[in-house]
Every structure is written in structure tokens, then in C-alpha cells.
Amino acid sequence: MRIALYRLIFLAGLIALWWLASTQVERNLVPSPWATALAARQLIAEGRLGSALVDSISIYLGGYGAAIIVGIPIGILMGTLRPLGKTLEVFVYALSATPRVAFIPLIIVFLGLGPQAKILIIFLGAVMPILINTYAGALNSDQELIEMARSVGAPRRRIFASIVLPGAVPFILVGLRVGATIGLINTVVAELYTAVKGLGGLLAIYGNTFRMAEYFVIVLTLALIGVIITEALRFLELRLGRWRRSDAVL
């Protein structure tokens, strides 16, 4: 409750600074919080915000979900099979260091401007932090515990479920958080470079026409999505933390 109160106080301070900035700068550059609220009500009433939100969330979940399905298993395999990890890690790091924007022209050539291209762009942005952090978590397994388990005849499946996977969970969750953030950013990038739809499309339209109240609504909507995803992953981390503790007792 104390943290929630601190957050509300900080939010009130941000809104006060926003209102102060709107009084000092031209209104076509920084709209007031009230003007932004009126714009949000109009966008919701007209259905534009809702339809754009559905478009963006659908492709975001598609790309982010694919990144989870691919990144976690490959990261675990690289961490548990050391020769495989040492072989692939240089290529993984090279791909991670390459700007995803560089792939967009090729993606558009092969997949066009449809949702498949957007999902692939989001996937490329989200998969690398998930894979790399999962790989680091698997490498961080307690080797002494593993050797002890082997010495008493524990099967590989039990060692993986009781030692390797619980030790990798914190790293995986960090990767999921970073991947979720980058995936959300890539959602906007994908919508700007491909068919101008979704929240990214509205962001481009309102930004180019200097309709800043509507522009702020889209920015705040994206920020709210980021907060919801982060808090959902935090809740997942708490639940998995209880699982790790109970598994350790067993």
C-alpha cells in the first residue's frame, strides 16, 4: 500500500509538470492533460482507438509469443549442451548486435506489407534478449549441485527440473521483460514501415498533422500497455518464485 501511495504521488507530480509545460509552450506542441483526456474520449467514442489497439495487440502477441516459443528452448539447449552453446553463441551475439531495422526491407520483399511481416519484425526484436538471458541462466546452474545429484543417481530429467530450470528462471524472466519492451517498440516500428495501421499508424498520422492531443493519447496508451505487461510478468515472477522455493524443499 505504501508503494502504491508513492506511485500515485509521483504520478500526480508528473501530471502537474505536464500541465505546467502546457501553459508555458504553445498548445499545438504540448496539449494540456484535460485536452488529452477529451481527445481520448473522442477517439474511444469513434472507435478508432479500440480498433487500432486490437490490431497492435494481436500482432504484438503473435510476435512476442513466437519469440518465447523459440527463444527459451534454444537458450536452454545452448546452456545445457555446452559444445552447442559455444558453437552458436558468436552467431547469436552477432545477430543481437545487428539493428533490426536493417532486416525490414528484406522482410517486406519476401512477406509484403501484411501481418506476417509485422509479426516477424516483432519476433526478431523480442527473441534475442529472451534467448541470451535464458542461455545465461542455464550456464549459471550450480555445478556442485548437479554433480551431487548425479552422484546419488538422479536422472537427467530430475536434475533439469530441480536444479537447472529453477536456477534459470530469474534470468528467463529478465529476458521476457526486456523482450516484451523491445517487442512493443518493434510493433510501432513495424506499423510505421509496413501498412500504416494500429497504434503506430495513428502515431504517424497525428504526428505528421500536429494533432498533439491525439498524439499524446497514443503515446500514453503505449505506455499503459508497457506497464500492464511489466506488472503481469512481475506477478508471474512472484508465482514462479514460490514454485522454486517449494521445489527446493522437495
Q: Is 205 exposed, middle or buried, given 0-12, 13-18 or 19+ CB atoms closer than 10 A?
A: middle
pLDDT of residue 146: 67
Residue 241 CB neighbour total at 10 angstroms: 14
Q: Is the pLDDT of residue 131 over 90?
A: yes
Domain spans in the chain, listed from the N-terminal domain onward: 55-249
Total count of residues recorded for the chain: 250
Q: Is 220 exposed, middle or buried, given 0-12, 13-18 or 19+ CB atoms closer than 10 A?
A: middle
Classify 25 in phi/psi space as left (phi over 0), alpha (psi -120 to 50) or beta.
beta
CATH top-level class for 55-249? mainly alpha
Q: Is the pLDDT of residue 249 over 50?
A: no
pLDDT of residue 20: 84
Mean pLDDT computed over 174-200: 85
Mean pLDDT computed over 154-168: 73
How confident is residue 27, by pLDDT bands cut at 50, 70 and 90?
A: low
How confident is residue 66, by pLDDT bands cut at 50, 70 and 90?
A: very high
pLDDT of residue 143: 66
Residue 234 CB neighbour total at 10 angstroms: 11
3-state helix, strand, coil in the chain (%, to 5): 90, 0, 10
Compare 191 and 163 and report the one with higher pLDDT: 191
Task: Give me the amino acid identity at 127.
Answer: V
Mean pLDDT computed over 67-71: 94
Taking the model in full, what pTM does it have?
0.82
Compare 210 and 217 and report the one with higher pLDDT: 217
Name the residue with cell 552447442.
84
Q: Cell numbers for 87, please give them.
A: 558453437
